[in-house]
Structure 1
Amino acid sequence: MPIRLAHRDDLTNLQQIERAAGEAFRTIGMPEVADDEPFSIEELLAYQGRTWVYERDGEAVAYLLIDLVDSLFHIEQVTVHPRAARQGIGRALIEHVYAQAPQQKLTLTTFEQVPWNAPYYRRLNFETFASPGPELQQVRRREAEHGLDRWPRLCMIRTH
């Protein structure tokens, strides 16, 4: 199976995937998002056991990070390298993690109007989450402090 837990040897590649995928934000007038640095190696190490990669030809081409927020799996990050985009890889990672999610629920926060964000997640059975718990509200506050609220954002949940 091409999905596996990430190894320490993957981490530099995950940063490269993030940088490459971030460039798409530049094309839609969000250069600040494109310029945002990926997680450091130390930050990625903190996700050990909670980072899945999609591997092709012996190399990770996408990854997904999970946090536990309000006792639910929360997608902190899902990123696909542009050369592997639009091939169902992000969906495969999300389905893989959803199958393991407590209570068969999965949350995330995302940009409302970016085509490969909220509209994409809606196609994957995520819905706007109008009543996020206290920890997810804290996630949103941190995102706002980081400047992400410059563009409309929302919380989403998948329950089926």
Structure 2
Amino acid sequence: MRNIRSATEADLPVLQEIERAAGKPFADIGMQAVADDDPPALSTLREFQQAGRAWVHPNAEDRPIGYLVLGLVDGNAHIDQVSVDPEFLGQRLGKGLIDHAVHWSKTRGLQAITLTTFTEVPWNGPYYERLGFRYLTLAEETPGLRELRAAESAHGLDRWPRACMRAELADWVFG
């Protein structure tokens, strides 16, 4: 699928750089706390990488310009983070990374892929909705998703509207 490969140990600091760059546009829409938030710790990224659930989209020099780390929550794939360097927006790199995660998930017999996101940020909830995710009602949230949302709330992310989303893998449209 496209130019996507597994993340290496050497990629991990670059993923933090991508995350910092990808956070900057949040400042432009009044979400400075999100823009200033620290990227995932190297130890956290390493856990995904060592589990085989961290992928990068590299440039021609093999330097990552986008990445996705995938967790497992209540028996489903869960996009823990997907970020693209803002210099490369509009090239569908995020979609390619998500397609890769969906393919990985389908080959392992999983049924759905979930994520948590800001509902009113154009490149978050509305974007994922266009890709085929749907918002979950509170009653549809699984225990693991509720636990993730509680951690996000404790981290202050609920200052802006957030929600869980889900896409059924059988219905996913690649491309």
Superposed pair shares fold, TM > 0.5: yes
What is the CA-CA distance between 1:118 and the residue it aligns to?
Answer: 0.4
Q: Which amino acid aligns with 1:52?
A: W
Q: Find the aligned partners of 1:45 and 1:92 in 2 and give their Cα distance.
A: 22
What is the CA-CA distance between 1:27 and the residue it aligns to?
Answer: 0.2
Q: Which residue of 1 aligns with 2:146?
A: 137
Q: Which residue of 1 aligns with 2:57?
A: 54
Q: Which amino acid aligns with 1:60?
A: P
Q: Which residue of 2 aligns with 1:105?
A: 112
Q: Find the aligned partners of 1:43 and 1:120 in 2 and give their Cα distance.
A: 26
Q: CA RMSD in A?
A: 0.9
Whether 2:75 is the aligned partner of 1:64: answer no
Q: Secondary structure at the match of 1:144?
A: helix
What is the CA-CA distance between 1:103 and the residue it aligns to?
Answer: 3.0
Q: How many residues align?
A: 160
- Aligned 1:74-93 pairs, distance under 5 A: 74-93=78-97
Q: Which residue of 2 aligns with 1:37?
A: 38
What is the CA-CA distance between 1:104 and the residue it aligns to?
Answer: 3.7
Counterpart contact for 2:56–2:66, Cα < 8 Å = yes
Q: TM-score, normalised by structure 1?
A: 0.97
Runs of 4+ in 1 over 6 A off after TM superposition: none
Q: Which residue of 1 aligns with 2:29?
A: 28
Counterpart contact for 1:128–1:156, Cα < 8 Å = yes
Specify which structure has the higher proportion of helix.
2
Whether 2:70 is the aligned partner of 1:94: answer no
> What do residues 72-125 of structure 1 show as CA deviations (whole Å, max 9, x unaligned)?
000000000011111100000001111122434100000000000000001100
Whether 2:161 is the aligned partner of 1:152: answer yes
Q: TM-score, normalised by structure 2?
A: 0.89
Seq. identity, %? 46
Q: Find the aligned partners of 2:134 and 2:44 in 1 and give their Cα distance.
A: 29
Q: Which residue of 2 aligns with 1:2?
A: 3
Q: Find the aligned partners of 2:31 and 2:163 in 1 and give their Cα distance.
A: 17
54-63 vs 98-107, which deviates more? 98-107
Counterpart contact for 1:98–1:104, Cα < 8 Å = no
Q: Find the aligned partners of 1:79 and 1:104 in 2 and give their Cα distance.
A: 23
